[in-house]
A and B are shown apart, each in its own frame.
Chain A
Amino acid sequence: MIPEPVRALLFYLCAGLALAGGCWVAFARNIVHSAFALLATFAGVAGLYAFLSADFLAVVQLMIYVGGVLVLILFALMLTSRIEEARVSNPTIGLVPGAVVLIAVSALLVYACVKEFGGTTDLPPGEPTTAGIGDALLSRYVLPFEVISVLLLAVLLGAVTIAGGRLRKPAPGGKPGKERP
């Protein structure tokens, strides 16, 4: 068992990592910097999952988001031609109204959440959750699980359509294209 002060330190480290990473993603002028800052956010969130005894979710977060999504984003950025333009396409506009909205909304949210969920609760015991998740996916959540598969099929097909549409010759002026041989 980890002693309490170390736990608290680790928690604030993870939370701070997620928060600082998020700020950096939003405020960095260079989109490549934003993408790398996302790494810190994902890692911090994975740490928070681990604190909530969601061991499976924490590992999945690292594998899917850091290992998959982030790498994909970086690839997309690196392979984009004219990446120089992306640097100036990230300007900060409407700073004052944005700040006012940010402060007002976050004050409201923090107040409401602290008021509601403020008290201390015991952390759930650190038991493995994988078996429970497996049971839930094949019983209670079987329908959403299946719907996700249809959603992924649609998205896969859409991605192929978008990419394939660029490879084929675009029909001039939206006129009917020829049948492919």
Chain B
Amino acid sequence: MLPDLAGLRGGAAILPELVLTGTVFAVLVLDLALRRSARRGRVLLLVTCLGLAAAATAIAGVSAGAQPLFYGMLVADGFALFVKGVVIAAAVVGAILAALSPEIRRDQLGEYLILLVCLTLGMCLLAGARNLLMLYLALELVSLPSYILAGFRHGDRRSSEAALKYVVFGAAASGLMLFGFSLLYGLAGTLDLPGIGAAVVARGLQGGLDAQLLVVVAVLLSLAGFAYKVAAVPFHMWCPDVYEGAPTPFVAFLSVAPKAAGFAALLRFFLSGFGAPLGFPAPGEFPWPFVLGVLAMATMTVGNLAAITQDNVKRLLAYSSIAHAGYLLMAVAVGSPLAIRGVLLYLPIYLLMNMGAFLVVMAVHDATGSETVDGFRGLGARAPYLAVVMAVFLFSLTGIPPLAGFIGKFFLFAAALQTKSMFFYAVAVVGVVNSVISLYYYARIVRACFLEKPADAQAPVRVGSPAAALLGALAVPTLVLGIWWGPLLGVVEKALLLPR
């Protein structure tokens, strides 16, 4: 007897993923074929970027729809396609950064790029996963290459330590999440998120603590995996060590793309699996907004307070990225249409400013060998262009108008205030106080750039023209989107227009 094959239709919707898989093989074969060629690095980078561009084009060609694909494993709705676009853009920037950085050895660039594309493939699947098995596999496809790339500076003790810490933390978080998933499967008898959602809602209506207890335990355990991926409290401890030890071009990518995909999966897990959590739970509903809101407050506070005392800029940006995960978690907790729009709007803006800041850190490190705040002293005189764009990125990360970061934060906070609940007012106040704290440590770097004299010789810091062009490509949209965000908002709204 033949099994039912109807679910295999809709293969065209995974064309972006197929293109990415093809890119993996193309780079793999070319890496071997061009072993003796002097132009190997450039060709591999070109092929990778072309493959990613082709995948992005394929995304534009996919007709978004809410119908499940491959027996309910995936869905290619506007939400997923938008997130895929963001992670592919981050992968293009990440590939170019790797090619520019001396931290990635030329003869290993091919391996780096292959793993980067595998990771991107994992994130694309994660953005569209609507089945727990698919979600877990996609998460592992993101995690395992990340471990290898974090330890890519072989022979460097800090890099190896970063990779090992990342693996141990990742394994623990994966284990907790799998345990949670298995409990959910036991409760619902299905791995499909909507099916689980229906079972959970039915159970919530039964009322009583006993009926809800196991659901709450299972979801909290599942949350561990997501919190680890987006670096939220209490699974943020790996973040500063990994950011400090891993190669900078990978950190720039890691701080943006897996976070974006992780938030996409988290949103789908809660919204498609558990019905929209909006406002405070009525009797018989589960306290997800409260749990996520408390996590959001803890995440932003821990991130910002710990960032104050950091001297290493990569560690500082690690804590800053934890804080940003907190702001995004606040919107996930709200879960209203405005909040989802805010999250989607924030992701590309965060990509621009955070990858830009890491690119400046990379340029300064390559020129001076320093990764500390002191290394930025007098940068305004030694490399005015670098100093100015760094100021743009950092003030945008703070959320100061008229920069793009302000618009991103504005929508997140507006979503929290729109709920008109005392709890989310409190979360928003904590968020605003945290933004003020963050101004202090971001401004410390800017102050070092412009107001402090360099301690040692005033050698000018040189930036290569590709790096300068890439910095410009990240800084200009950061400035423009702060004033003219209409087009981006239009894309986001179009992505969310279709029913999820």
Q: Which residues does A use to contact B, with CB under 8 Å?
A: 108-109, 111-113, 115-117, 135-136, 138-144, 147-148, 150-151, 153-155, 157-158, 160-162, 165-166, 168, 170-171, 174-181
Contact = CB atoms under 8 A, between A and B. Distances in A.
Contact of A138 (B3, B24, B134, B213): B3
Interface in B31-53: 35-36, 38, 40
B103 to A, nearest CB: 5
A115 B214 contact: yes
A117 B148 CA distance: 40
A131 to B, nearest CB: 10
B115 A158 contact: yes
Given A111-B213, A147-B138, A165-B152, 10 more contacts: A115-B210, A139-B5, A139-B71, A151-B141, A157-B115, A161-B108, A166-B155, A170-B156, A178-B106, A179-B40
Contacts of B144: 151, 154-155, 158
B217 A108 contact: yes
A150 B24 contact: yes
B111 A139 contact: no
Contact of B145 (A135, A139, A140, A154): A154
A139 B3 contact: yes
B469 to A, nearest CB: 21
A147 B121 CA distance: 9
B213 A112 contact: yes
Given A151-B141, A158-B144, A142 B105 contact: no
A177 B214 contact: no
B493 interface: no
* Interface-centre pick from A138, A153, A157 (highest chain B CB count, 10 A): A157
B162 interface: no
A179 B38 contact: yes
A150 B28 CA distance: 13
Nearest to B179: A109
B313 interface: no
A158 B118 CA distance: 11
B140 A153 contact: no
A151 to B, nearest CB: 5
Interface string B150-192: 0111111000000000000000000000000001001100000
Contacts of A176: 102, 105-106
Nearest to B105: A177
B108 A143 contact: no
B125 interface: yes
7 contacts: A139-B71, A143-B14, A151-B137, A153-B24, A157-B28, A158-B145, A165-B155
Interface in B98-153: 102-103, 105-108, 111, 114-115, 118-119, 121-122, 125, 133-134, 137-138, 140-141, 144-145, 147-148, 151-153
Contacts of B140: 151
**Nearest 5 CB-CB pairings of A with B:** A170-B155, A165-B154, A158-B148, A177-B105, A139-B3
Nearest to A111: B213
Given A139-B3, A147-B141, A154-B144, A171 B214 contact: no
B418 to A, nearest CB: 35
A150 B210 contact: no
Nearest to A134: B3
A166 B154 contact: yes
B141 A142 contact: no
A180 B105 CA distance: 11
B40 A143 contact: no
Contact of B74 (A143, A162, A170): A143
Contact of B7 (A139, A150, A160): A139
A115 B203 CA distance: 14
A162 B151 contact: yes
B213 A144 contact: no
A141 B133 contact: yes
B153 A174 contact: yes
Nearest to A105: B217
Contacts of A115: 210, 213-214
Contacts of B155: 165-166, 170-171
Given A141-B133, A157-B115, A116 B214 contact: yes
A105 to B, nearest CB: 9
Given A143-B134, A150-B24, A150-B118, A179 B148 contact: no
Nearest to A170: B155
B154 A162 contact: yes
A165 B346 CA distance: 38
Nearest to A137: B3
Contact of B107 (A112, A174, A179): A179
B70 interface: yes
A142 B35 contact: no
A153 B25 CA distance: 10
A180 B126 CA distance: 37
B389 interface: no
Contacts of B154: 162, 165-166, 170
Contacts of A155: 144
Nearest to A131: B1
Nearest to B36: A181
B107 A140 contact: no
Nearest to A139: B3
Contacts of B125: 147
A177 B106 contact: yes
A140 B4 CA distance: 8
B455 interface: no
B98 to A, nearest CB: 12
Contacts of A135: 3
B457 interface: no
* Interface-centre pick from A113, A161, A165, A168 (highest chain B CB count, 10 A): A161
B83 interface: no
Nearest to B209: A115
B188 to A, nearest CB: 12
Contacts of B137: 144, 147-148, 151
A157 B141 contact: no
B379 to A, nearest CB: 21
A104 to B, nearest CB: 12
B179 to A, nearest CB: 9
